[in-house]
Amino acid sequence: MKIALTSDHGGYKLKETIKNLLKELKIEFIDFGTDSEKSVDYPDFALKAAESIMNGETDRGIFICGTGIGISIAANKVPGIRAALCYNIFAAEMSRRHNNANVLALGGRVTGDELAKAIVKTWIETTFDGERHEKRINKISEIEKKFKK
């Protein structure tokens, strides 16, 4: 598994913490930035990292901004991306089991390091249940196709 890792300035510190966790877990990743707490626009970073998932360069992503809200909204505009904003371990588990989320969104200003690491571990380790949930994921894909220009 290769992870697309990205953040804006509000998520930079937590991104660095998660980067260290991924190294400890021996999970390959590409850091799409940002590289400091200097103000940047989260849609730019969400797009670069989401495109890497869409084109198969990476398998999943962890995207972080101040709250996780903006970067998840931006990521979800990219076809095939299912970004789930998770503030707890249960949501992370369900985002994988039921929604096959391929992007985990976190809030760097609202989620502490230890909780974030537990969320990431759960999200990485949890698999998609498939079966009845597969048809729902397919319906999401149909919605994307309906509005694709």
Q: What is the pLDDT of residue 36?
A: 97
Question: How does pLDDT run across 93-105, given as a tens digit for each residue?
Answer: 999 999 999 999 9
Give the predicted TM-score (pTM) of the model: 0.96
Question: How does pLDDT run across 60-94, given as a tens digit for each residue?
Answer: 999 999 999 999 999 999 999 999 999 999 999 99
| CATH assignment at residue 98 | 3.40.1400.10
For residue 123, the surrounding DSSP H or E stretch is helix 113-125
41: containing domain? 2-147
Instruction: Give the rounded percent of residues in the chain with a pLDDT score beyond 90.
Output: 96
Number of structural domains found in the chain:
1
36 closest CA partner among 26, 47, 25, 45: 45
Token pair in block for residue 113: 């390091």
Cβ-in-10-Å burial (0-12, 13-18, 19+) of 142 comes to exposed
Q: Name the region of 19 (left: φ>0; alpha: ψ -120 to 50; beta: rest).
A: alpha
98 is catalytic: yes
- The model's confidence at residue 7, banded by pLDDT at 50, 70 and 90, is very high
Q: What is the mean pLDDT of the chain?
A: 97
